[in-house]
């Protein structure tokens, strides 16, 4: 298998831009092929993870590529979208290890950007995981914290009343403060506004990865936008796109206004709600637009 690996490497070197990311056989390949953080690799080993599951084998090579730098030819082959829309959809049964499959790239992406930019503030909200229930969100936080141990990546579970950092807050219209009239006395006084902002900053929970239910985040967001978020992860996406959660989920998506946003969906079933959304997107994008990769 070592020989095989070398062959793969040699082949990849021959081509200027390899069509497909390098195949994965074990978690220890992640370091050599994708240069993942040593600490992250150690944490995986510590948890006893050695052989990636099928959904991990399929998704990690794609999602560990920096941002959207998936080779365009490969993108066409894989129908990996490079415009706004669902970038990736994995359908794999319950218990198949989808959590690791989205947490590893989320954590590694943050570490990679941090390593490349010394000026970056220590904690920037870069990834949001949305899950339909608090119990599931709690499990994801726990799993994420074990993986991120010693990396400095902060994973936080959203709570009612918690403030998270937002950017480009919408100034006119019905923000909740205006609706409740609480900033009336700040009207016309720049200093007051500044003080107000400073106070808000103080109580903001610093986080790199936020794990939340749709309702908890939507209640906080209102008209705020999340400019810094690079990864929006919908776990149990079939449920999140159900009529019950759909509006909140789509609201969160539209609040993530970064041009570099990567939206990934994870589900145990294809489900009509996902299918519906995918079809809507395809229609909206016309026939020359690529579809969504399925794993």
Q: How many residues bind Mg ion (CB under 5 A)?
A: 1
By a kind-dependent CB cut-off of 5 to 8 A, residue 70 interacts, out of ligand ADP, Mg ion, none, with none
What are the residues whose beta carbons fall under 8 Å from the beta carbon of 159, sequence distance 6 or more? 216
CA distances in angstroms from 261 to 20, 160, 196, 241, listed in the order given: 22, 25, 30, 19
Q: Which stretch binds Mg ion (CB under 5 A): 30-38, 45-53, 94-102, 257-265?
A: 94-102
Phi, psi at 153, each rounded to 5°: -80, 125
Measured from the CB atom, the residue of 111 and 127 that comes closer to Mg ion is 127
**Closest distance to ligand ADP from the beta carbon of 100 (Å):** 5
**Closest distance to ligand ADP from the beta carbon of 195 (Å):** 45
**Closest distance to Mg ion from the beta carbon of 103 (Å):** 11
**Closest distance to Mg ion from the beta carbon of 100 (Å):** 10
Measured from the CB atom, the residue of 88 and 220 that comes closer to Mg ion is 88
Q: Are 60 and 30 in contact (CB under 8 A)?
A: yes
- Which residue number is nearest to Mg ion in terms of Cβ? 98
Measured from the CB atom, the residue of 62 and 221 that comes closer to ligand ADP is 62
**Closest distance to ligand ADP from the beta carbon of 112 (Å):** 22
Sheet holding 209-212, edge to edge: 88-91, 262-267, 231-235, 127-130, 209-212, 155-157
Where does this chain bind ligand ADP (CB under 6 A)?
49, 51-53, 56, 92, 94-100
Phi, psi at 278, each rounded to 5°: -60, -45
What are the residues whose beta carbons fall under 8 Å from the beta carbon of 171, sequence distance 6 or more? none
13-29: buried (b, 16+ CB within 10 Å) or exposed (e) per residue? eeeeeeeebbebeebeb
Measured from the CB atom, the residue of 100 and 226 that comes closer to ligand ADP is 100
Measured from the CB atom, the residue of 49 and 220 that comes closer to ligand ADP is 49
Q: Is the dihedral of CA 254, 256, 259, 263 positive or negative?
A: negative
Measured from the CB atom, the residue of 91 and 148 that comes closer to Mg ion is 91
**Closest distance to Mg ion from the beta carbon of 232 (Å):** 16
Residues at the site binding Mg ion, with contacts judged by CB under 5 A = 98
């Amino acid at each position: 298998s070592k020989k095989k690996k070398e062959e793969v490497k040699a082949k990849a070197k021959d081509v200027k831009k390899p069509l497909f990311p390098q195949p994965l056989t074990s978690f220890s390949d992640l370091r050599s092929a994708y240069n993942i953080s040593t600490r992250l690799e150690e944490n995986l080993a510590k948890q006893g993870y050695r052989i990636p599951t099928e959904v991990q084998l399929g998704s990690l090579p794609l999602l560990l590529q920096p941002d959207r730098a998936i080779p365009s030819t490969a993108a066409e082959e894989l129908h990996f979208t490079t415009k706004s829309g669902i970038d990736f959809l994995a359908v794999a049964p319950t218990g198949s290890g989808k959590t690791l499959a989205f947490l590893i790239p989320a954590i590694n992406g943050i570490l990679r950007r941090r390593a490349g930019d010394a000026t970056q503030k220590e904690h920037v909200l870069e990834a949001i995981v949305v899950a339909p229930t608090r119990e599931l969100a709690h499990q994801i936080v726990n799993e994420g914290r074990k993986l991120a141990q010693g990396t400095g990546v902060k994973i936080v579970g959203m709570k009612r009343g918690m403030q998270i950092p937002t950017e480009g807050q919408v100034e006119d219209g019905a923000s909740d403060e205006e609706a409740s009239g609480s900033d009336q006395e700040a009207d016309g006084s720049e200093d007051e506004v500044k003080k107000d902002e400073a106070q808000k900053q103080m109580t903001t929970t610093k986080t790199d990865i936020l794990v939340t239910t749709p309702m908890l985040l939507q209640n906080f967001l209102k008209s705020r936008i999340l400019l810094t978020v690079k990864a929006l992860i919908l776990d149990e996406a079939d449920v999140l796109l159900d009529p019950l959660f759909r509006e909140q989920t789509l609201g969160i998506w539209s609040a993530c206004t970064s041009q570099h946003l990567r939206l990934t969906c994870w589900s145990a079933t294809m489900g009509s709600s996902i299918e519906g959304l995918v079809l809507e997107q395809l229609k909206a994008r016309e026939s020359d637009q690529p579809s969504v990769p399925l794993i």
